Amino acid sequence: MDKHSETGKTDLRTMPVVLAVDDDPAVLRIIETVLSRHDYAVKTATSGEDALHIMRELTPAVLILDVMMDGISGHDICHAVKLDRRLQDVPVIFLTSRGTPKDYKMGHDLGAVIYMVKPLKPEKLLNIVQMLVPVSA
């Protein structure tokens, strides 16, 4: 099936869905803008609670997580995802301001495949997402 309907609108059912979770709406807008321009459907959440709610009904192709958020942290979300049989194979990217060797190790130990330190580099994030989940031609 073609990704685009006859009206020119994108068919989200055939696009890889990326769930981005960050308490900074500006970061989410940048992620959504860069990925949606390259045929990814982007869902966003501004809290860990919202992310877990979304993932009750959706299995994202990639999960992008900030670490430091009020309530449920990115670490907590990653831990929950890796314990869930339906979600455990979803690649997790941490995108955070925390960048010490201890932080990198924690991300790796929790099961993240990539650990990126802010400020966000949109093209680098796009390249990583494309590597993890290529868009079908």
Tell me the per-residue pLDDT of 33-46, one tens digit each, with 9 for 90 and over.
999 999 999 999 99
Q: Is residue 1 part of a domain?
A: no
CATH code for position 42: 3.40.50.2300
Q: Is residue 132 part of a domain?
A: no
The domain total for the chain is 1
Domain that residue 54 falls in: 16-117
Tens of pLDDT along 55-87?
999 999 999 999 999 999 999 999 999 999 999
Q: Is residue 124 part of a domain?
A: no
Q: What is the pLDDT of residue 16?
A: 95
Give the residue among 103, 84, 81, 102 at the shortest CA–CA distance from 92. Answer: 81
Q: Is residue 8 part of a domain?
A: no
Q: What is the pLDDT of residue 135?
A: 84
> How far, in Å, CA of 85 to CA of 132, rounded?
19
Q: Is residue 21 part of a domain?
A: yes
Please tell me the pTM assigned to this model: 0.89
